[in-house]
């Protein structure tokens, strides 16, 4: 089963590891640190912070059900 890019981003936003990365990102004050962390997160998760954080809103606009199951690891995404 293939998982859509939107569903993948929605699942990533619920991962505890991503939440930790995002909380650290929000505490940064230096422009250089912010840019560096944005790049690091994009390389790690495969999507920009903005696209991950707004995935639920995009799904809502498209009329896709907001009820998706939480995942505990990124490997579950590939297993369907």
Please write the tens of the pLDDT for every residue from 6-63.
888 988 999 999 999 999 999 999 999 999 999 999 999 999 999 998 888 887 777 7
**Residue 32 in domain:** yes
Evaluate whether residue 25 is within a structural domain.
yes
Instruction: Judge whether 74 lies within some domain.
Output: no
Answer whether residue 10 is part of any domain. Answer: yes
Give the domain range for residue 47: 5-65
76 domain residue, yes or no: no
**The pLDDT of residue 80 is above 60:** no
For residue 39, tell me if it sits in a domain: yes
- Number of separate domains in the chain: 1
Yes or no: say if 6 and 59 are a contact pair by the CB < 8 Å rule. Answer: yes
Please report the pLDDT score of residue 38 as a whole number.
94
Higher pLDDT among residues 68 and 9, named by residue: 9
Cα angle value 54/59/62 (rounded, 5°): 130
**Dihedral (CA of 46, 50, 56, 58) sign:** negative
Half-sphere exposure of 53 (CA within 13 A, CB side): 12
């Amino acid at each position: 089963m293939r998982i859509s890019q939107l569903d993948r981003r929605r699942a990533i936003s619920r991962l505890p590891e991503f939440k930790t990365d995002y909380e650290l990102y929000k505490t940064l004050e230096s422009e250089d640190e912010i840019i560096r962390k944005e790049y690091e997160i994009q390389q790690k998760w495969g999507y920009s912070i903005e696209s991950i954080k707004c995935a639920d809103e995009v799904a809502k606009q498209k009329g896709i059900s907001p009820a998706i199951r939480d995942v505990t690891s990124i490997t579950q995404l590939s297993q369907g």
